[in-house]
Amino acid sequence: MTQASSPGTLGSLKSLLPYLWPKGEPELKLRVVLASASLVVAKIANVYVPIVFKHMVDALGTPGALVALPIGLLAAYGLARVMAQAFAELRDGIFAKVAQRAIRSLALKTFRHLHALSLSFHLERQTGGLTRAIERGAKGIEFLLSFLIFNVIPTLVEIAMVAVILWTLYDWRFAAVTIVTIGFYIAYTLMVTEWRIKLRRTMNESDQSANTKAVDSLLNYETVKYFNNEEHEAQRYDGALKIYETAAVRSRVSLAALNIGQVVIIAIGSTLIMGMAAAGVVYGENGRHMTVGDVVLVNAYLLQLYLPLNFLGTVYREIRQSLIDMEAMFSLLSIGAAIEDKPDAQPLVIQAGEVKFEDVAFGYDPRRPILKGISFTVGPGDTMAIVGASGAGKSTISRLLFRFYDVNAGRILIDGQDIRNVTQKSLRSQIGIVPQDTVLFNDTVEYNVGYGRPGASRPEIENAAHLAHIHDFVTGLPDGYQTKVGERGLKLSGGEKQRVAIARTILKAPPILLFDEATSALDSRTEREIQANLMEISRRRTTLIIAHRLSTVIHADEIIVLEDGRIAERGTHDVLLGLNGRYAAMWRRQQEAIDVPDDDAAEVPVPFTEAVK
């Protein structure tokens, strides 16, 4: 698996730009143009407001002024203010669809990318921390679009426009004081904020740690209760929260220091420029006396500039953090998929359903091989069982067949087609699995059964439930098929969850079946009931059974015994017993451990019909 690489701030912004100018979507491009035009009009109107205000004040102060003149200026002043606000709101309304589409597209791309990553990535990931990274990344994009593009950058442009106006109307010193004050303001903000970002990172890390611990604990609710470890989990959670608390307090104190420094800088700049304006009224400026309207204009510009600047100081850290959160999200997208389809990969074509392993070698770590030259063939419609001690490599075979990993040597064929040369989607669509640990979605029974073939009709779902012998149980529930099964199917027993898994596989109707320790966690009675179900759905299908309990595989056409990654024995149940080797020894140990009364035997379900082929 390719490790995540940090794209950096500029890289993140560069990655975001295509979503703000999306290809093949002229409507969104038009919205970007209209929003930009609205922004320009709003800023021009905003800069023009103090000028109109100055002329209105001067007109009112002129002896014998016509009444029509200040009324006209007053109307112009009101119109300019309305235009500034109206076009700003219009800009936001027009651009909203572009912003939300960018967030949606990036979130969907990240979600799909995570599903495309290898099993090893998902075995190592921390679910709570991963979801928080995606959530913060999406919010960061929204915040960045809202404040950086349409607030911060336009404010800086407005500052430049005001500086030019002050220099043109009065003197370069007015522009110089304005620019220097803003320069000190921004420099101080950047310096303090960079320090605060380190505190923010500590907060994020502790927040992610706390969330991960909480999610992990709640997902393993039963285990926590079994071992009476509620207080232990609470202390682990509180430990992460304590780190967050300390970092949050330091962050808030540093924010106060930032705001105080900003106020001091703004106050000094305001005092200087207002003093210069007052001196111009009393002593004159550039050979002429400044009017009261000029003082009002300068003051109005100061208010227009410093209020957004104060807002900028408040949100700068959030903008910087949004960039960091975006960077984390784009880092996820930079993780390469370990298993990818070849450029010329073709869909898998099933003719008979023969599965063949040819001298397959594999290890999750090159230093520790798991499979060492495994070869076997499961003929069309036949059943092969794989047994052996824990760690022998049984479940690894199922992961290789689904191509969660690629073999290190040898090859796996289905009807003569190397599975590395076909598309993963077509491969997995032809294989059905009933796993050892059936994990259900926190949704209805209907949804979980229907997951085998999304879009299946209600009658099809009920038919699959009938064949899995769970329909009567479901209809007996108060909410029937609309019953919520809880997180990971917590509300259902092991046997009930397994029957849902069987129904799901029946609905999928694949030509190749894989049972991976499907009954190892069940009691003997439930195991016999479900085993009969499994035998029904495996008829006329190529079936691979990975099992620990040998009683579940005695009907197999061939049984192979794995030991230390190699095939130690192979043959039918009777042949292997006759060899009196490893299989026979395992059989005797398991038979000695079985002590089930005859009247506890489960009734054999109705034979499998032609409804599933």
Helical H runs in 334-344?
none
pLDDT of the residue at 607: 35
pLDDT band for position 409 (cuts 50, 70, 90): very high
pLDDT band for position 488 (cuts 50, 70, 90): confident
Contact of 387 with 547, CB cutoff 8 Å = yes
Kind and range of the H or E run holding 235 = helix 230-283
Q: What is the mean pLDDT of the chain?
A: 80
Domain edge (last residue) among 269, 304, 333: 333
**Shared domain check, 264 and 360:** no
pLDDT of the residue at 612: 35
**Domain assignment present for 425:** yes
**Shared domain check, 381 and 307:** no
**Domain assignment present for 47:** yes
- Tell me 152's DSSP state: I
**Shared domain check, 359 and 314:** no
Token pair 């336009």 is found at 154
Domain edge (last residue) among 278, 306, 333: 333
CA distance 94 to 38: 9
Q: Which of 229-233, 251-255, 318-322, 444-448 tops mean pLDDT?
A: 444-448
- CA angle 379/580/526 to nearest 5° reads 65
* Beta strands, E only, 389-451: 409-414, 417-418, 431-434
pLDDT of the residue at 346: 92
**Shared domain check, 327 and 181:** yes
pLDDT of the residue at 311: 65
**Domain assignment present for 271:** yes
CA distance 271 to 177: 10
**Shared domain check, 164 and 41:** yes
Contact of 281 with 291, CB cutoff 8 Å = yes
Contact of 516 with 398, CB cutoff 8 Å = yes
Distances in whole angstroms, Cα of residue 112 to Cα of each of 37, 105, 108, 343:
35, 11, 6, 19
**Shared domain check, 272 and 419:** no
Domain edge (last residue) among 309, 333, 357: 333
Helix and strand numbers, DSSP H then E, in the chain = 19, 10
Token pair 């009009």 is found at 41
Q: Which of 76-80, 217-221, 280-284, 450-454 has the lowest mean pLDDT?
A: 280-284
pLDDT in tens, 543-592: 999 888 888 888 889 999 998 889 999 999 999 999 999 999 989 988 87
pLDDT of the residue at 313: 60
Contact of 322 with 146, CB cutoff 8 Å = no
Strands 355-362, 371-378: pairing is antiparallel
pLDDT band for position 328 (cuts 50, 70, 90): confident
**Domain assignment present for 463:** no
Tokens of 441: 């979605």
Find, among 515, 354, 513, the residue nearest to 430 by Cα: 513
Count of structural domains within the chain: 2
**Domain assignment present for 19:** yes
**Shared domain check, 350 and 301:** no
Find, among 488, 481, 433, 443, the residue nearest to 460 by Cα: 481
Q: Which of 240-244, 380-384, 574-578 has the lowest mean pLDDT?
A: 240-244
**Shared domain check, 357 and 295:** no
**Shared domain check, 268 and 224:** yes
pLDDT in tens, 118-167: 666 766 665 556 777 777 777 788 777 777 777 777 877 888 888 888 88
Find, among 272, 281, 299, 283, the residue nearest to 54 by Cα: 299
pLDDT band for position 287 (cuts 50, 70, 90): low
Which pTM value belongs to this model? 0.63
**Domain assignment present for 416:** yes
Kind and range of the H or E run holding 582 = helix 582-593
CA distance 275 to 130: 55
Domain of 556, CATH number, reads: 3.40.50.300
CA distance 150 to 156: 11
The Cβ-side half-sphere exposure at 382, using a 13 Å CA radius, reads 14
String of b and e for 84-122 (b: at least 16 CB within 10 Å)? Answer: beebbebbeebbeebbebbbeebbeebeeebeebbbebe
**Shared domain check, 294 and 351:** no
CA distance 30 to 36: 10
Would the pLDDT of 3 be above 60?
Answer: no
Point out which residues pair with 386 in neighbouring strands: 546, 560
**Shared domain check, 372 and 316:** no
146 or 268, which is more confident? 268
Rounded mean pLDDT, 450-466: 90
pLDDT in tens, 96-113: 888 888 888 888 888 887
Would the pLDDT of 601 be above 60?
Answer: no
**Domain assignment present for 325:** yes
Rounded mean pLDDT, 212-217: 85
What domain range is 190 assigned to? 8-333
Would the pLDDT of 74 be above 80?
Answer: no
**Domain assignment present for 513:** no
Domain of 59, CATH number, reads: 1.20.1560.10
* Beta strands, E only, 532-578: 542-546, 558-563, 566-571
CA distance 589 to 329: 53
Kind and range of the H or E run holding 515 = strand 512-516
Kind and range of the H or E run holding 100 = helix 68-116
Work out the percent of the chain whose per-residue pLDDT is above 90.
15
**Shared domain check, 252 and 154:** yes
